[in-house]
Amino acid sequence: MRRPFVAGNWKLNLDLSAGRALVAGVAEKLPASLPIDVAVCPTSIYLFPMAKAISGTPIKLGGQNCWHESKGAFTGEVSAAMVKEAGCTYVILGHSERRHTIGPKDADGRIHAETDEMIAAKVRAAMSACLVPIVCIGETLEERDAGHTNEVLRRQINGSLAGVEAASGDSLVIAYEPVWAIGTGRTATPEQAQDAHQYIAALLMERFGSDVAGDIRIQYGGSVKPSNVVELMKCPDVDGALVGGASLKVDDFVGIIEGTIRAKGLD
Ligand code: PGA
């Protein structure tokens, strides 16, 4: 079985003292060694101090983004090597907020901030810096309602992983995050999640072959909370969760970690 992986995406939340308090509170409630991987992903300016805060705990660190070039005239950007040097194991790439929400609007009010092509370049840069990218994909509500979910997932997997070579499955994580479920309180049903994950697993088989693809973890993301985590994690192709809002509270995040361990029969 793939080792389940729960990551908290803090987005633009928690100042340094709140981040430290959260990690200390979570670590206090967890055993020193865990049967799953757990990570927190703070905003990049706090990565160095948070690396110190997690030291001695089973919690690992992830960035929320990185730039695809290693250096140069890119004001305000952070390279993959810098994220790695700050103490990160992971980096979230291609989050729907970066694909759809953060960026200038075109004349029709659409935002196309990060394209699959840009995300693929970032994934390649992250892997060269020995970071494990958590590559986010997922359809919008309009795309789901129009019956285009699989087509969107195929386009995003192929596009966001263009030119990516994975020597082993543990060098890459995919997060399936239906855009309509992020921060909305609306979660995919276990059937919807399992269907999408099974399809993504098949795409990864096509892309990387069964030896590598069989080890790539696919997280579910979108309004995961302690009350729905067990049913989602019972799905055979759901290997963990990428958690936004519920990762900001000690009891909720611990509840999600414990629920994942229970659902996967690792307790
Ligand atoms: P949410 O966010 O858990 O608040 O829905 C998930 C995410 O954006 O990764």
- Listing DSSP states for 126-162 in one string gives HHHTT-EEEEEE---HHHHHTT-HHHHHHHHHHHHTT
Asked if pLDDT for residue 216 goes beyond 90, the answer is yes
Rounded-to-integer distance, Cα 191 and Cα 212, Å:
25
CB atoms within 10 A of CB 85: 13
For residue 112, name the pLDDT band (cuts at 50, 70, 90): low
Is a pLDDT exceeding 90 seen at residue 100? no
Q: Which residues pair with 39 in a beta bridge?
A: 7, 60
Q: 1 falls in which pLDDT band (50, 70, 90)?
A: confident
231 is an active site residue: no
- 221 Cα nearest atom in ligand 1: 6
Question: Which ligand 1 atom lies nearest to the CA of residue 96?
Answer: 8
Q: Please, which pLDDT band fits residue 108 given cuts at 50, 70 and 90?
A: confident
Q: What is the mean pLDDT of residues 250-266?
A: 98
Specify the pTM.
0.96
Between 49-63, 103-117, 142-156, 181-195, the lowest mean confidence (pLDDT) is in: 103-117
Mean pLDDT of the chain: 95
Measured from the Cα of 245, ligand 1's closest atom is 4
Ligand 1 pocket (Cβ < 6 Å) reads 9, 177, 182-183, 221-224, 242-246
- As assigned by CATH, the class of the 5-263 domain is alpha beta
Backbone angles phi, psi at 241, to 5 degrees: -140, 145
Q: Can 95 be counted among the known catalytic residues?
A: yes
Spacing, Cα 223 to ligand 1 middle (Å): 6
